[in-house]
Amino acid sequence: MPTEATFLLAGLLIVFAATGWAFAWFGDRDRDSELPARINADYIKGLNLVLNRRTDEALELFLQMAKVDDDTLETHFALGHLFRRRGEVERAIRVHQNLLARPNLGQAQRDQALYALGEDYLGAGLFDRAENLFGDLTASDTVAISALERLVYIYEREQEWEKAIHAHRRLQALSGKKSSQVAHYHCELAERARRDGDLKRARECLKNTVSSEAGALRGALIRAAIAEEDGDHALALDLYEQVLDKDSQFMPEVLPALFDCYAETARLPDFERYIEKLVARDPSAASSIAYAAIIGDLTDSEALTRCVEEFVFGDETLAELVDVDTLRTATTEHKRQALERISSALRSLGLASARYRCANCGYSTRRFIWHCPSCKQWETLRPMQRFQLDSVIG
């Protein structure tokens, strides 16, 4: 939210712009003459209002000063932008509609005013009106790329994935820039079809996800879920392992499903060896495996139990809450019961806390999502893979 200082600075800039126009205009006509008293008085009055923090009165005065001509168009756009940022979209709309009413407005200026009006509608939550305006501007010579970007934003907000795919492809063709967003749109369609029970449609959508690394990874997770629903646990198992091989940060999401697939195929000894292989290849993986095992309540695995035990004994914060030295020398049964109690407490703490954080903006949530609702970036949320023990001690 802009601060009062922001508005004061913007007001000063507008005053200077209007004054500069006046000096330039009247200076060209008669450089020896003085600035007309009315303009000079308006300038002084506006500056006084700004300095006294009477921003509403100052903005109204600036609007009156900025008569619509070729030299004050930018002042109008600045005013409209300032009104919109303040949340006064009706005023912003009035400024931009006033511009569009001019019969002699150039095409580039008209497109700029239409784009600004679309932003006003978007700020007011009038998505249909904004969509129509931005849609008309996709053929503009000056603002087509910006209009397509806003259309993509609208379609993402409205979860109109087919339209988002079409708009983003046009955007890529114009800008020459590629991203993983389109693959995520296809994944969204695939997940929607899977929830509706249309697995054939889901598989068709997934064919368009292999062109990017992000789409291939998310697509593999969806394919694994479909395979599980079809009863093909062997295929699902292979797909889940492929995901972990590419990005071990998905351990909390994948490990419970992977364990179930090994159990369904009567291959639990192979699961033990798989976990041992992961730890042997990367000893630091034991911590994330322990976290996933605790959150997923996975207790029927010796390999996972060893990871959990190592995590409990090695965590400095836990050592302040648990008598680790006594626990190390306890009997096997007593140690098992103690670890179960500790794991249960940690699981309750983990499920009650934010488990994922956006690497771009810091947004946190308890459930995994692919699209950050705060910064609107894709695939930036990652598991924290740690328990919020500081809150317990504090």
CATH number at residue 62: 1.25.40.10
Which residues form the domain of 101?
4-162
Domain boundary among 162, 178, 202: 162
Domain boundary among 162, 180, 199: 162
- Residue at 219 is within a domain: no
- In the sheet that holds 356-358, the strands lie side by side as 364-365, 356-358, 381-383
pLDDT on residue 86: 83
- Percent of the chain whose predicted confidence (pLDDT) is above 90: 48
- Residue at 211 is within a domain: no
Average pLDDT of the residues of the chain: 83
Do 382 and 266 lie in one domain? The reply is yes
- Residue 21 CB contacts under 8 Å (≥ 6 apart), including other chains: 71, 72, 75
pLDDT on residue 25: 41
Joined tokens for residue 339: 């670890």
Q: Which residue has the higher pLDDT, 72 or 253?
A: 253
Summarised one tens digit per residue, pLDDT across range 19-62 is 454 444 444 444 444 444 444 466 556 656 655 667 667 666 66
Do 94 and 235 lie in one domain? The reply is no
**Rounded Cα distance, 380 and 19, in Å:** 46
pLDDT on residue 4: 47
Closest CA to 215 of 379, 41, 341, 339: 379
- Residue at 178 is within a domain: no
Q: What is the helix (H) or strand (E) element at residue 243, kind and residue range?
A: helix 233-246
Is residue 95 over pLDDT 60? yes
Do 239 and 103 lie in one domain? The reply is no
Location of structure tokens 């190390």:
328
Location of structure tokens 């395979």:
227
pLDDT on residue 1: 42
Closest CA to 363 of 341, 381, 345, 389: 381
Which residues make beta-bridge pairs with 7?
Answer: none
pLDDT on residue 73: 74
pLDDT on residue 323: 74
**Rounded Cα distance, 220 and 138, in Å:** 35
- Residue at 96 is within a domain: yes
Q: Which residue has the higher pLDDT, 189 or 213?
A: 189
Per-residue exposure over 50-80, b if at least 16 CB sit within 10 Å of its own CB, e if not: beeeebeebbebbbebbeeeebbbebbbbbb
- Residue at 53 is within a domain: yes
- Residue at 363 is within a domain: yes
- For the chain, how many structural domains are there in total? 2
Give φ, ψ of 222 to 5 degrees: -70, -40
| pTM for the structure as a whole | 0.76
Joined tokens for residue 349: 């703490």
What residue ranges in the chain does DSSP mark as E strands? 356-358, 364-365, 381-383
Which amino acid does the sequence have at 111? D
- Residue at 101 is within a domain: yes
Summarised one tens digit per residue, pLDDT across range 123-171 is 999 999 999 999 999 999 999 999 999 999 999 999 999 999 999 999 9
Is residue 295 over pLDDT 90? yes
Neighbours of 8 (CB within 10 A): 15
Do 28 and 129 lie in one domain? The reply is yes
| Among 40-54, 293-307, 333-347, the range of highest mean pLDDT | 293-307
- In Å, the largest CA–CA distance within the chain is 101
Is residue 384 over pLDDT 60? yes
For range 235-244, the mean pLDDT: 96
Give φ, ψ of 371 to 5 degrees: -115, 115
Domain boundary among 130, 162, 194: 162
Chain centroid to Cα 329, Å, comes to 48
Do 144 and 243 lie in one domain? The reply is no
Decide: 294 and 308 in contact? Cβ < 8 Å: yes
pLDDT on residue 65: 57
Q: Which residue has the higher pLDDT, 334 or 233?
A: 233
Is residue 316 over pLDDT 60? yes
- Residue at 202 is within a domain: no
Location of structure tokens 């019969």:
103
